Structure 1
Amino acid sequence: MASDSAGRASPPTDRVVRVLDFLAAHPRDRFGLSELARRVGLSKPTCLGIVTSLAEAGYLVRDPVDKTYRLGPSLITLGHRAQEALRVSPAAREQLRRLSARFRATVALSGVVGDRITVLDLVAPPGAHPGVEVGQSYPFAPPVGLMFVLWDDEATREWLARRPTIPLRTDSARLRRVIARCRTDGYLVERLTPAGRRLYALMAGMSADLPDELRALLGELVSDIGERVYLRDENGAGPFDISVISAPVFDHYGRQVMVASMHVGTTLTDDEISERADAVVATADAVTGQLGGVKPQ
Protein backbone atom coordinates (compact mmCIF):
# COMPACT_ATOMS: atom_id res chain seq x y z
CA MET A 1 0.00 0.00 0.00
CA ALA A 2 1.35 3.38 -0.93
CA SER A 3 2.10 5.57 2.06
CA ASP A 4 0.22 8.81 2.56
CA SER A 5 2.35 11.67 1.25
CA ALA A 6 0.48 14.39 3.15
CA GLY A 7 2.84 16.46 5.26
CA ARG A 8 5.97 15.61 3.25
CA ALA A 9 8.28 18.53 2.60
CA SER A 10 9.16 19.60 -0.95
CA PRO A 11 12.86 20.55 -1.20
CA PRO A 12 12.35 22.61 -4.41
CA THR A 13 9.55 24.57 -2.73
CA ASP A 14 11.69 25.02 0.39
CA ARG A 15 14.34 26.69 -1.77
CA VAL A 16 11.82 29.16 -3.17
CA VAL A 17 10.60 29.93 0.33
CA ARG A 18 14.18 30.52 1.49
CA VAL A 19 14.73 33.10 -1.25
CA LEU A 20 11.48 34.94 -0.50
CA ASP A 21 12.02 34.83 3.26
CA PHE A 22 15.53 36.21 2.90
CA LEU A 23 14.43 39.09 0.68
CA ALA A 24 11.47 39.79 2.98
CA ALA A 25 13.93 40.11 5.86
CA HIS A 26 15.89 42.72 3.84
CA PRO A 27 13.09 44.71 2.13
CA ARG A 28 15.21 47.82 1.46
CA ASP A 29 18.18 45.94 -0.03
CA ARG A 30 18.94 44.56 -3.45
CA PHE A 31 21.06 41.51 -4.13
CA GLY A 32 22.93 40.25 -7.14
CA LEU A 33 22.64 36.60 -8.09
CA SER A 34 25.99 35.54 -6.62
CA GLU A 35 25.41 37.19 -3.26
CA LEU A 36 21.81 36.02 -3.04
CA ALA A 37 22.81 32.43 -3.81
CA ARG A 38 25.54 32.59 -1.18
CA ARG A 39 23.31 34.15 1.47
CA VAL A 40 20.54 31.55 1.09
CA GLY A 41 22.89 28.60 0.60
CA LEU A 42 22.01 27.68 -2.99
CA SER A 43 24.07 27.05 -6.10
CA LYS A 44 24.02 29.86 -8.64
CA PRO A 45 22.21 27.80 -11.32
CA THR A 46 19.49 26.76 -8.83
CA CYS A 47 19.11 30.30 -7.53
CA LEU A 48 18.99 31.69 -11.09
CA GLY A 49 16.09 29.39 -12.00
CA ILE A 50 14.16 30.43 -8.91
CA VAL A 51 14.64 34.20 -9.24
CA THR A 52 13.93 34.09 -12.97
CA SER A 53 10.55 32.40 -12.41
CA LEU A 54 9.70 34.70 -9.52
CA ALA A 55 10.62 37.79 -11.51
CA GLU A 56 8.52 36.66 -14.48
CA ALA A 57 5.54 36.28 -12.11
CA GLY A 58 6.13 39.71 -10.59
CA TYR A 59 7.08 38.39 -7.16
CA LEU A 60 10.58 39.80 -7.64
CA VAL A 61 11.89 42.76 -9.62
CA ARG A 62 15.19 42.53 -11.49
CA ASP A 63 17.05 45.79 -12.04
CA PRO A 64 18.19 45.75 -15.69
CA VAL A 65 21.21 47.97 -14.95
CA ASP A 66 22.91 46.42 -11.93
CA LYS A 67 21.12 43.04 -12.30
CA THR A 68 20.01 42.91 -8.68
CA TYR A 69 16.79 41.48 -7.27
CA ARG A 70 14.26 42.80 -4.76
CA LEU A 71 10.66 42.05 -3.76
CA GLY A 72 8.08 42.67 -6.50
CA PRO A 73 4.57 44.13 -6.74
CA SER A 74 2.74 40.81 -7.08
CA LEU A 75 3.50 40.18 -3.41
CA ILE A 76 1.40 43.23 -2.52
CA THR A 77 -1.67 41.69 -4.15
CA LEU A 78 -0.87 38.33 -2.57
CA GLY A 79 -0.59 39.95 0.84
CA HIS A 80 -3.90 41.76 0.45
CA ARG A 81 -5.61 38.51 -0.57
CA ALA A 82 -4.10 36.75 2.46
CA GLN A 83 -5.41 39.47 4.74
CA GLU A 84 -8.88 39.17 3.23
CA ALA A 85 -8.78 35.41 3.68
CA LEU A 86 -7.92 35.98 7.33
CA ARG A 87 -10.83 38.44 7.62
CA VAL A 88 -8.79 41.63 7.84
CA SER A 89 -10.64 44.21 5.76
CA PRO A 90 -9.95 47.88 4.92
CA ALA A 91 -12.81 48.77 7.26
CA ALA A 92 -11.08 46.92 10.10
CA ARG A 93 -7.86 48.75 9.36
CA GLU A 94 -9.74 52.05 9.60
CA GLN A 95 -10.86 51.07 13.10
CA LEU A 96 -7.22 50.41 14.01
CA ARG A 97 -6.18 53.73 12.50
CA ARG A 98 -8.70 55.66 14.61
CA LEU A 99 -7.62 53.93 17.80
CA SER A 100 -3.96 54.51 17.02
CA ALA A 101 -4.53 58.20 16.29
CA ARG A 102 -6.57 58.76 19.44
CA PHE A 103 -3.90 57.44 21.81
CA ARG A 104 -0.81 57.76 19.61
CA ALA A 105 -0.16 54.06 20.11
CA THR A 106 0.58 51.02 17.97
CA VAL A 107 -2.53 48.84 17.56
CA ALA A 108 -2.88 45.48 15.88
CA LEU A 109 -5.16 42.62 14.94
CA SER A 110 -3.77 39.15 15.57
CA GLY A 111 -5.11 35.65 15.07
CA VAL A 112 -4.15 32.03 15.57
CA VAL A 113 -3.07 30.61 12.20
CA GLY A 114 -2.28 26.93 12.49
CA ASP A 115 -0.31 26.55 15.70
CA ARG A 116 1.04 30.09 15.75
CA ILE A 117 -0.17 33.51 16.80
CA THR A 118 0.28 35.81 13.80
CA VAL A 119 0.08 39.60 13.49
CA LEU A 120 -2.52 40.14 10.73
CA ASP A 121 -2.60 43.94 10.56
CA LEU A 122 -0.92 46.79 12.40
CA VAL A 123 -1.12 50.58 12.53
CA ALA A 124 1.55 52.67 14.24
CA PRO A 125 1.85 56.43 14.82
CA PRO A 126 3.98 58.35 12.30
CA GLY A 127 7.66 57.87 13.02
CA ALA A 128 7.07 55.10 15.56
CA HIS A 129 9.11 51.90 15.59
CA PRO A 130 6.67 49.33 16.98
CA GLY A 131 9.10 46.42 17.25
CA VAL A 132 6.57 44.04 15.65
CA GLU A 133 5.39 43.75 12.08
CA VAL A 134 2.62 42.18 10.04
CA GLY A 135 3.29 38.47 9.58
CA GLN A 136 5.41 38.12 12.71
CA SER A 137 4.39 35.05 14.68
CA TYR A 138 4.80 33.34 18.03
CA PRO A 139 4.14 29.77 19.20
CA PHE A 140 0.56 29.35 20.41
CA ALA A 141 1.34 27.51 23.63
CA PRO A 142 1.45 28.44 27.31
CA PRO A 143 2.35 31.00 28.54
CA VAL A 144 1.91 32.81 25.19
CA GLY A 145 -1.65 33.16 23.93
CA LEU A 146 -3.83 33.58 27.02
CA MET A 147 -5.72 36.45 25.34
CA PHE A 148 -6.89 34.06 22.59
CA VAL A 149 -8.60 31.58 24.91
CA LEU A 150 -9.93 33.59 27.86
CA TRP A 151 -13.49 33.75 26.59
CA ASP A 152 -14.06 30.06 25.88
CA ASP A 153 -13.75 27.26 28.44
CA GLU A 154 -13.00 24.55 25.87
CA ALA A 155 -10.39 26.71 24.13
CA THR A 156 -8.77 27.43 27.50
CA ARG A 157 -8.57 23.72 28.34
CA GLU A 158 -7.12 22.85 24.94
CA TRP A 159 -4.52 25.62 25.21
CA LEU A 160 -3.48 24.58 28.72
CA ALA A 161 -3.10 20.99 27.46
CA ARG A 162 -0.52 22.06 24.88
CA ARG A 163 3.10 21.45 25.69
CA PRO A 164 4.27 24.73 27.23
CA THR A 165 7.07 26.56 25.48
CA ILE A 166 8.81 26.96 28.84
CA PRO A 167 8.67 25.18 32.21
CA LEU A 168 5.64 26.52 34.06
CA ARG A 169 3.88 26.41 37.36
CA THR A 170 0.17 27.19 37.28
CA ASP A 171 -1.62 28.95 40.11
CA SER A 172 -5.06 27.58 39.27
CA ALA A 173 -6.89 29.82 41.72
CA ARG A 174 -5.32 32.96 40.28
CA LEU A 175 -5.88 31.79 36.72
CA ARG A 176 -9.57 31.31 37.51
CA ARG A 177 -9.68 34.84 38.94
CA VAL A 178 -7.99 36.21 35.82
CA ILE A 179 -10.43 34.42 33.51
CA ALA A 180 -13.50 35.49 35.49
CA ARG A 181 -12.40 39.12 35.75
CA CYS A 182 -11.39 39.42 32.10
CA ARG A 183 -14.72 37.95 30.99
CA THR A 184 -16.54 40.44 33.17
CA ASP A 185 -14.46 43.40 32.00
CA GLY A 186 -14.24 42.27 28.35
CA TYR A 187 -10.50 42.86 28.07
CA LEU A 188 -7.07 41.69 29.21
CA VAL A 189 -4.30 43.98 30.46
CA GLU A 190 -0.72 42.71 30.65
CA ARG A 191 1.88 44.32 32.87
CA LEU A 192 5.16 45.48 31.32
CA THR A 193 8.14 43.70 32.84
CA PRO A 194 11.74 43.26 31.69
CA ALA A 195 11.10 39.51 31.66
CA GLY A 196 8.08 39.92 29.40
CA ARG A 197 9.99 42.06 26.93
CA ARG A 198 12.79 39.50 26.76
CA LEU A 199 10.32 36.65 26.44
CA TYR A 200 8.57 38.02 23.35
CA ALA A 201 11.86 39.12 21.78
CA LEU A 202 13.21 35.60 22.14
CA MET A 203 10.00 33.88 21.04
CA ALA A 204 9.40 35.85 17.82
CA GLY A 205 9.51 33.48 14.86
CA MET A 206 10.60 30.51 16.94
CA SER A 207 9.15 27.04 16.92
CA ALA A 208 7.27 25.79 19.96
CA ASP A 209 9.82 22.96 20.08
CA LEU A 210 12.65 24.84 21.77
CA PRO A 211 16.04 23.45 22.76
CA ASP A 212 16.18 22.43 26.43
CA GLU A 213 18.75 25.11 27.23
CA LEU A 214 16.53 27.87 25.83
CA ARG A 215 13.45 26.47 27.55
CA ALA A 216 15.31 26.64 30.85
CA LEU A 217 16.38 30.24 30.21
CA LEU A 218 12.86 31.32 29.32
CA GLY A 219 11.57 29.51 32.39
CA GLU A 220 13.61 31.91 34.50
CA LEU A 221 11.78 34.84 32.88
CA VAL A 222 8.13 33.77 33.12
CA SER A 223 7.10 30.80 35.22
CA ASP A 224 3.39 31.26 35.94
CA ILE A 225 0.48 31.69 33.52
CA GLY A 226 -1.21 34.98 34.15
CA GLU A 227 1.44 36.37 36.47
CA ARG A 228 1.78 39.51 34.31
CA VAL A 229 -1.97 40.18 34.13
CA TYR A 230 -3.16 43.45 35.65
CA LEU A 231 -6.37 43.19 37.65
CA ARG A 232 -7.89 46.41 38.91
CA ASP A 233 -7.89 46.73 42.73
CA GLU A 234 -5.50 43.77 43.07
CA ASN A 235 -2.19 45.51 42.42
CA GLY A 236 -2.17 48.43 44.86
CA ALA A 237 -2.51 52.12 44.12
CA GLY A 238 -0.37 52.32 40.99
CA PRO A 239 0.50 53.78 38.56
CA PHE A 240 1.46 50.66 36.61
CA ASP A 241 3.82 49.80 33.78
CA ILE A 242 1.51 48.39 31.11
CA SER A 243 2.54 46.34 28.09
CA VAL A 244 -0.57 45.42 26.08
CA ILE A 245 -4.34 45.84 26.35
CA SER A 246 -6.36 43.32 24.32
CA ALA A 247 -10.00 42.52 23.53
CA PRO A 248 -11.58 39.67 21.52
CA VAL A 249 -13.13 39.73 18.04
CA PHE A 250 -15.85 37.15 17.34
CA ASP A 251 -17.36 35.53 14.24
CA HIS A 252 -21.05 34.88 13.48
CA TYR A 253 -20.95 31.73 15.62
CA GLY A 254 -19.75 33.71 18.61
CA ARG A 255 -16.30 32.13 18.38
CA GLN A 256 -13.21 34.23 18.99
CA VAL A 257 -11.30 34.65 15.74
CA MET A 258 -8.96 37.56 16.42
CA VAL A 259 -7.66 39.87 19.10
CA ALA A 260 -7.47 43.66 18.90
CA SER A 261 -4.50 44.94 20.89
CA MET A 262 -3.03 48.27 21.91
CA HIS A 263 0.70 48.25 22.63
CA VAL A 264 1.17 50.67 25.51
CA GLY A 265 4.71 50.31 26.85
CA THR A 266 4.43 53.05 29.46
CA THR A 267 3.11 53.88 32.94
CA LEU A 268 -0.64 54.42 33.36
CA THR A 269 -3.02 55.11 36.21
CA ASP A 270 -6.10 52.95 36.83
CA ASP A 271 -8.30 55.52 35.10
CA GLU A 272 -5.97 55.75 32.09
CA ILE A 273 -5.96 51.97 31.81
CA SER A 274 -9.76 51.88 31.91
CA GLU A 275 -10.06 54.60 29.27
CA ARG A 276 -7.77 52.76 26.86
CA ALA A 277 -9.32 49.38 27.62
CA ASP A 278 -12.81 50.69 26.86
CA ALA A 279 -11.52 52.06 23.54
CA VAL A 280 -9.88 48.73 22.64
CA VAL A 281 -13.13 46.89 23.44
CA ALA A 282 -15.08 49.35 21.27
CA THR A 283 -12.64 48.72 18.40
CA ALA A 284 -12.88 44.95 18.78
CA ASP A 285 -16.69 45.17 18.88
CA ALA A 286 -16.69 47.29 15.71
CA VAL A 287 -14.55 44.71 13.88
CA THR A 288 -16.85 41.96 15.18
CA GLY A 289 -19.79 43.86 13.68
CA GLN A 290 -18.00 44.26 10.34
CA LEU A 291 -17.50 40.48 10.25
CA GLY A 292 -21.18 39.89 10.94
CA GLY A 293 -20.04 38.46 14.24
CA VAL A 294 -21.89 37.98 17.49
CA LYS A 295 -20.46 38.86 20.89
CA PRO A 296 -21.30 36.07 23.36
CA GLN A 297 -23.29 36.96 26.44
Structure 2
Amino acid sequence: MRGSGSAPTERVLDIVELLSRPGRGEVRFSDVVRELSLSQGTAHAILKTLTDRGWITRNPATKAFTLGPALTLVASSLDIGRPLAHLARTSIRRLADTTDMAASVLERVGDDLVITAFENPADLSAVVQPNERIPYAPPFGIAFAAWDSADEQEAWMRRGAADDAGLHQRLRTVLTRTRERGYDVDWMTPALSQAAQAIGTLSGDAIPHTMRSVIDRLRVEFASADPLPDDSTRGAHPVATISAPILDADNRIALVLAIHPLRAMTFRQIQAAAKPLLREVDHVRNSSAAH
Protein backbone atom coordinates (compact mmCIF):
# COMPACT_ATOMS: atom_id res chain seq x y z
CA MET A 1 0.00 0.00 0.00
CA ARG A 2 1.68 3.16 -1.19
CA GLY A 3 1.11 6.78 -0.24
CA SER A 4 0.41 6.28 3.45
CA GLY A 5 3.86 5.45 4.82
CA SER A 6 5.92 7.08 7.55
CA ALA A 7 8.84 9.10 6.20
CA PRO A 8 10.91 8.83 9.45
CA THR A 9 10.42 5.06 9.46
CA GLU A 10 11.43 4.86 5.81
CA ARG A 11 14.67 6.67 6.58
CA VAL A 12 15.53 4.17 9.32
CA LEU A 13 14.77 1.22 7.05
CA ASP A 14 16.75 2.80 4.20
CA ILE A 15 19.83 2.82 6.41
CA VAL A 16 19.36 -0.80 7.50
CA GLU A 17 18.85 -1.89 3.88
CA LEU A 18 21.91 0.08 2.77
CA LEU A 19 24.05 -1.76 5.31
CA SER A 20 22.55 -5.13 4.36
CA ARG A 21 23.29 -4.96 0.62
CA PRO A 22 25.38 -8.01 -0.31
CA GLY A 23 28.86 -7.28 -1.54
CA ARG A 24 28.65 -3.77 -0.17
CA GLY A 25 31.95 -2.42 1.13
CA GLU A 26 32.42 -0.29 4.20
CA VAL A 27 29.67 2.25 4.88
CA ARG A 28 30.71 5.43 6.63
CA PHE A 29 28.68 8.38 7.89
CA SER A 30 29.39 10.36 4.73
CA ASP A 31 28.16 7.43 2.59
CA VAL A 32 24.83 7.34 4.44
CA VAL A 33 24.35 11.10 4.03
CA ARG A 34 25.26 11.08 0.35
CA GLU A 35 23.55 7.90 -0.87
CA LEU A 36 20.31 8.41 1.03
CA SER A 37 20.20 12.20 0.63
CA LEU A 38 19.86 12.75 4.36
CA SER A 39 20.89 15.78 6.35
CA GLN A 40 23.84 15.24 8.65
CA GLY A 41 21.64 15.84 11.69
CA THR A 42 19.04 13.26 10.63
CA ALA A 43 21.66 10.68 9.70
CA HIS A 44 23.53 11.16 12.99
CA ALA A 45 20.36 10.79 15.08
CA ILE A 46 19.24 7.60 13.33
CA LEU A 47 22.69 6.02 13.36
CA LYS A 48 23.14 6.79 17.07
CA THR A 49 19.78 5.25 17.96
CA LEU A 50 20.45 2.13 15.88
CA THR A 51 23.89 1.81 17.47
CA ASP A 52 22.51 2.25 21.00
CA ARG A 53 19.95 -0.50 20.34
CA GLY A 54 22.56 -2.86 18.88
CA TRP A 55 21.03 -2.93 15.40
CA ILE A 56 24.27 -1.58 13.93
CA THR A 57 27.83 -1.24 15.18
CA ARG A 58 30.62 1.19 14.32
CA ASN A 59 34.22 0.11 13.91
CA PRO A 60 36.25 2.48 16.12
CA ALA A 61 39.27 2.22 13.82
CA THR A 62 37.70 2.61 10.36
CA LYS A 63 34.56 4.50 11.52
CA ALA A 64 32.51 2.20 9.23
CA PHE A 65 29.05 0.96 10.18
CA THR A 66 27.92 -2.68 9.93
CA LEU A 67 24.83 -4.60 11.01
CA GLY A 68 24.81 -5.31 14.74
CA PRO A 69 24.13 -8.28 17.02
CA ALA A 70 20.53 -7.32 17.78
CA LEU A 71 19.63 -8.10 14.17
CA THR A 72 20.96 -11.63 14.68
CA LEU A 73 18.16 -12.18 17.19
CA VAL A 74 15.64 -10.85 14.70
CA ALA A 75 17.02 -13.08 11.94
CA SER A 76 16.99 -16.18 14.16
CA SER A 77 13.32 -15.63 14.96
CA LEU A 78 12.47 -15.94 11.26
CA ASP A 79 12.98 -19.70 11.41
CA ILE A 80 10.30 -19.85 14.12
CA GLY A 81 7.88 -17.23 12.87
CA ARG A 82 8.25 -17.98 9.14
CA PRO A 83 8.86 -21.74 8.81
CA LEU A 84 7.86 -21.80 5.13
CA ALA A 85 10.51 -19.21 4.27
CA HIS A 86 13.10 -21.15 6.30
CA LEU A 87 12.29 -24.36 4.41
CA ALA A 88 12.46 -22.48 1.11
CA ARG A 89 15.93 -21.14 1.89
CA THR A 90 17.11 -24.68 2.64
CA SER A 91 15.59 -25.86 -0.63
CA ILE A 92 17.38 -23.32 -2.81
CA ARG A 93 20.69 -24.33 -1.25
CA ARG A 94 20.00 -27.89 -2.40
CA LEU A 95 18.88 -26.66 -5.82
CA ALA A 96 22.06 -24.65 -6.31
CA ASP A 97 24.14 -27.70 -5.38
CA THR A 98 22.25 -30.25 -7.49
CA THR A 99 21.62 -28.13 -10.59
CA ASP A 100 24.75 -25.95 -10.52
CA MET A 101 22.45 -23.00 -11.20
CA ALA A 102 21.71 -19.96 -9.10
CA ALA A 103 18.49 -20.33 -7.11
CA SER A 104 16.31 -17.83 -5.30
CA VAL A 105 13.22 -17.25 -3.18
CA LEU A 106 10.76 -14.58 -4.28
CA GLU A 107 8.13 -13.07 -1.96
CA ARG A 108 5.58 -10.31 -2.30
CA VAL A 109 6.02 -7.15 -0.24
CA GLY A 110 3.25 -4.66 -0.93
CA ASP A 111 3.31 -3.75 -4.61
CA ASP A 112 6.72 -5.31 -5.16
CA LEU A 113 8.26 -8.75 -5.43
CA VAL A 114 11.46 -9.12 -3.41
CA ILE A 115 14.25 -11.67 -3.73
CA THR A 116 14.52 -12.66 -0.07
CA ALA A 117 17.11 -15.41 -0.45
CA PHE A 118 19.68 -16.26 -3.08
CA GLU A 119 22.18 -19.09 -3.56
CA ASN A 120 24.86 -18.60 -6.17
CA PRO A 121 27.18 -21.43 -7.28
CA ALA A 122 28.88 -19.07 -9.73
CA ASP A 123 29.51 -15.35 -10.09
CA LEU A 124 26.01 -14.30 -11.16
CA SER A 125 25.65 -11.35 -8.81
CA ALA A 126 25.31 -8.96 -11.72
CA VAL A 127 22.12 -10.75 -12.81
CA VAL A 128 20.25 -11.36 -9.56
CA GLN A 129 20.64 -9.60 -6.23
CA PRO A 130 19.21 -10.51 -2.83
CA ASN A 131 16.76 -7.85 -1.62
CA GLU A 132 16.24 -6.72 -5.21
CA ARG A 133 12.74 -5.31 -5.68
CA ILE A 134 10.74 -6.03 -8.81
CA PRO A 135 7.41 -4.33 -9.54
CA TYR A 136 4.47 -6.73 -9.22
CA ALA A 137 3.17 -5.85 -12.65
CA PRO A 138 3.49 -7.35 -16.15
CA PRO A 139 5.85 -8.58 -17.43
CA PHE A 140 7.12 -9.48 -13.96
CA GLY A 141 5.62 -11.86 -11.42
CA ILE A 142 3.90 -14.32 -13.76
CA ALA A 143 4.74 -17.27 -11.49
CA PHE A 144 3.17 -15.35 -8.60
CA ALA A 145 0.14 -14.00 -10.44
CA ALA A 146 -0.80 -17.36 -12.00
CA TRP A 147 -1.62 -18.72 -8.53
CA ASP A 148 -2.78 -15.48 -6.92
CA SER A 149 -6.40 -14.77 -5.98
CA ALA A 150 -8.83 -13.74 -8.70
CA ASP A 151 -8.94 -10.15 -7.44
CA GLU A 152 -5.14 -9.89 -7.31
CA GLN A 153 -4.87 -11.39 -10.78
CA GLU A 154 -7.23 -8.73 -12.11
CA ALA A 155 -5.19 -6.00 -10.41
CA TRP A 156 -1.96 -7.45 -11.85
CA MET A 157 -3.41 -7.55 -15.36
CA ARG A 158 -4.76 -4.00 -15.10
CA ARG A 159 -1.28 -2.77 -14.25
CA GLY A 160 -0.12 -4.18 -17.58
CA ALA A 161 -3.12 -3.78 -19.85
CA ALA A 162 -5.17 -0.97 -18.27
CA ASP A 163 -8.62 -1.09 -19.89
CA ASP A 164 -7.61 -2.77 -23.15
CA ALA A 165 -9.72 -5.94 -23.33
CA GLY A 166 -7.49 -7.54 -25.96
CA LEU A 167 -4.30 -7.09 -23.96
CA HIS A 168 -6.14 -8.18 -20.83
CA GLN A 169 -7.12 -11.45 -22.49
CA ARG A 170 -3.58 -12.12 -23.65
CA LEU A 171 -2.32 -11.77 -20.10
CA ARG A 172 -5.07 -14.07 -18.85
CA THR A 173 -3.94 -16.66 -21.42
CA VAL A 174 -0.37 -16.34 -20.11
CA LEU A 175 -1.52 -17.01 -16.54
CA THR A 176 -3.67 -19.97 -17.60
CA ARG A 177 -0.87 -21.53 -19.65
CA THR A 178 1.60 -21.05 -16.78
CA ARG A 179 -0.72 -22.66 -14.25
CA GLU A 180 -1.36 -25.63 -16.55
CA ARG A 181 2.38 -26.09 -17.02
CA GLY A 182 3.00 -25.87 -13.28
CA TYR A 183 5.87 -23.42 -13.56
CA ASP A 184 6.85 -20.24 -15.37
CA VAL A 185 9.66 -19.88 -17.89
CA ASP A 186 11.15 -16.41 -18.16
CA TRP A 187 12.72 -15.93 -21.58
CA MET A 188 14.04 -12.42 -20.96
CA THR A 189 17.77 -11.94 -21.15
CA PRO A 190 19.29 -9.53 -18.58
CA ALA A 191 19.25 -6.79 -21.22
CA LEU A 192 15.56 -7.36 -21.98
CA SER A 193 14.77 -7.46 -18.27
CA GLN A 194 16.44 -4.09 -17.79
CA ALA A 195 14.46 -2.72 -20.74
CA ALA A 196 11.23 -4.08 -19.26
CA GLN A 197 11.98 -2.45 -15.90
CA ALA A 198 12.71 0.85 -17.63
CA ILE A 199 9.38 0.62 -19.47
CA GLY A 200 7.69 -0.12 -16.15
CA THR A 201 8.80 3.25 -14.81
CA LEU A 202 6.94 5.04 -17.62
CA SER A 203 3.51 5.41 -16.14
CA GLY A 204 1.20 7.93 -14.60
CA ASP A 205 -1.16 10.64 -15.74
CA ALA A 206 1.73 12.73 -17.06
CA ILE A 207 2.14 10.26 -19.94
CA PRO A 208 -0.12 11.01 -22.94
CA HIS A 209 -2.89 8.48 -23.46
CA THR A 210 -1.49 7.36 -26.81
CA MET A 211 1.91 6.75 -25.24
CA ARG A 212 0.37 4.82 -22.33
CA SER A 213 -1.26 2.52 -24.86
CA VAL A 214 2.11 1.80 -26.48
CA ILE A 215 3.72 1.17 -23.09
CA ASP A 216 0.92 -1.21 -22.09
CA ARG A 217 1.36 -3.16 -25.31
CA LEU A 218 5.11 -3.43 -24.73
CA ARG A 219 4.50 -4.76 -21.24
CA VAL A 220 2.16 -7.42 -22.57
CA GLU A 221 4.58 -8.32 -25.37
CA PHE A 222 7.30 -8.93 -22.78
CA ALA A 223 4.94 -10.99 -20.63
CA SER A 224 3.38 -13.10 -23.38
CA ALA A 225 6.50 -13.85 -25.42
CA ASP A 226 6.78 -17.64 -25.38
CA PRO A 227 9.00 -18.84 -28.24
CA LEU A 228 8.97 -22.46 -27.11
CA PRO A 229 5.39 -23.44 -26.17
CA ASP A 230 5.83 -27.20 -26.64
CA ASP A 231 8.22 -29.89 -27.84
CA SER A 232 7.05 -29.45 -31.42
CA THR A 233 9.19 -26.31 -31.61
CA ARG A 234 12.78 -27.13 -32.44
CA GLY A 235 15.89 -25.34 -31.33
CA ALA A 236 17.03 -23.67 -28.12
CA HIS A 237 16.07 -20.31 -26.68
CA PRO A 238 17.65 -18.27 -23.87
CA VAL A 239 16.12 -19.00 -20.48
CA ALA A 240 16.69 -16.62 -17.60
CA THR A 241 14.48 -18.14 -14.89
CA ILE A 242 12.31 -21.17 -14.22
CA SER A 243 10.06 -20.60 -11.22
CA ALA A 244 7.25 -22.36 -9.39
CA PRO A 245 4.94 -21.41 -6.51
CA ILE A 246 4.75 -22.69 -2.96
CA LEU A 247 1.21 -22.64 -1.59
CA ASP A 248 0.38 -22.37 2.10
CA ALA A 249 -2.01 -24.54 4.08
CA ASP A 250 -4.98 -22.55 2.75
CA ASN A 251 -3.84 -23.09 -0.86
CA ARG A 252 -2.81 -19.46 -1.24
CA ILE A 253 0.48 -18.53 -2.84
CA ALA A 254 3.09 -17.79 -0.20
CA LEU A 255 6.32 -17.50 -2.17
CA VAL A 256 8.10 -18.66 -5.30
CA LEU A 257 11.16 -20.85 -5.77
CA ALA A 258 13.29 -20.19 -8.84
CA ILE A 259 16.38 -21.44 -10.63
CA HIS A 260 18.32 -19.26 -13.08
CA PRO A 261 19.79 -21.26 -16.00
CA LEU A 262 20.93 -18.16 -17.92
CA ARG A 263 21.59 -20.14 -21.06
CA ALA A 264 19.86 -21.37 -24.19
CA MET A 265 17.70 -24.46 -23.62
CA THR A 266 15.39 -26.69 -25.62
CA PHE A 267 11.91 -27.54 -24.42
CA ARG A 268 13.05 -30.94 -23.14
CA GLN A 269 15.99 -29.39 -21.33
CA ILE A 270 13.60 -26.97 -19.65
CA GLN A 271 11.37 -29.86 -18.59
CA ALA A 272 14.38 -31.69 -17.16
CA ALA A 273 15.57 -28.59 -15.28
CA ALA A 274 12.10 -28.02 -13.84
CA LYS A 275 11.91 -31.49 -12.26
CA PRO A 276 14.26 -30.84 -9.29
CA LEU A 277 12.60 -27.45 -8.81
CA LEU A 278 9.14 -29.02 -8.58
CA ARG A 279 10.46 -31.71 -6.24
CA GLU A 280 11.72 -29.01 -3.88
CA VAL A 281 8.38 -27.19 -4.10
CA ASP A 282 6.62 -30.41 -3.06
CA HIS A 283 9.19 -30.98 -0.32
CA VAL A 284 8.66 -27.54 1.19
CA ARG A 285 4.89 -27.88 1.10
CA ASN A 286 4.90 -31.37 2.61
CA SER A 287 7.44 -30.48 5.28
CA SER A 288 5.42 -27.41 6.23
CA ALA A 289 2.24 -29.48 6.51
CA ALA A 290 4.03 -32.03 8.70
CA HIS A 291 4.87 -29.29 11.19
Q: Give the TM interval when normalised to the shorter protein.
A: 0.7 to 0.9
Matches within 5 A, 1:81-160: 81=77, 85-129=81-125, 131-151=127-147, 154-155=150-151, 157-160=153-156
Is 2:256 the counterpart of 1:259? yes
Match of 2:284 among 262, 269, 287: 287
Aligned-pair identity in percent equals 26
When residues 218 and 73 of structure 1 are mapped into structure 2, their CA distance, relative to the original with a 3 A threshold, is: farther
When residues 126 and 170 of structure 1 are mapped into structure 2, their CA distance, relative to the original with a 3 A threshold, is: same
Matches within 5 A, 1:190-201: 190-193=186-189, 196-199=192-195
CA offsets per residue over residues 56-99 of structure 1, 9 Å max, x none? 22222112234332332333443454576454444332221121
- Conserved? CA contact 1:168–1:223, under 8 Å: no
When residues 174 and 166 of structure 1 are mapped into structure 2, their CA distance, relative to the original with a 3 A threshold, is: closer
Q: Name 1:164's counterpart in structure 2.
A: 160
Structure in which a larger fraction of residues adopt helix:
2
- Conserved? CA contact 1:142–1:159, under 8 Å: no
SS of structure 2 residue aligned to 1:29: coil
Match of 1:274 among 271, 276, 281: 271
Letter of the 1:131 counterpart? V
CA offsets per residue over residues 162-195 of structure 1, 9 Å max, x none? 4339998855665555444433331121223466
- Conserved? CA contact 1:106–1:130, under 8 Å: no
SS of structure 2 residue aligned to 1:280: helix
Supply the distance in 2 between the matched residues of 1:76 and 1:209 (Cα, whole angstroms): 40
TM-score, length basis structure 1: 0.77
Q: Name 2:247's counterpart in structure 1.
A: 250
CA offsets per residue over residues 235-281 of structure 1, 9 Å max, x none? 72121211211111111111221111111210112221110112211
Matches within 5 A, 1:8-27: 9-25=5-21, 27=24
Letter of the 2:33 counterpart? A
When residues 269 and 207 of structure 1 are mapped into structure 2, their CA distance, relative to the original with a 3 A threshold, is: same
How many aligned residue pairs are there? 285
Letter of the 2:289 counterpart? G
5+ residue gaps, structure 2 = none
SS of structure 1 residue aligned to 2:57: strand
Match of 1:238 among 212, 235, 244: 235
Supply the distance in 1 between the matched residues of 2:33 and 2:101 (Cα, whole angstroms): 40
5+ residue gaps, structure 1 = 1-6
Deviation at 1:16, TM superposition (A): 2.4
Deviation at 1:216, TM superposition (A): 8.4
SS of structure 2 residue aligned to 1:27: coil
CA offsets per residue over residues 5-55 of structure 1, 9 Å max, x none? xx7544433432343344345732131x45543543344343322212111
Deviation at 1:108, TM superposition (A): 1.3
Is 2:37 the counterpart of 1:41? yes
Match of 2:50 among 54, 57, 61: 54
Q: Name 1:3's counterpart in structure 2.
A: none
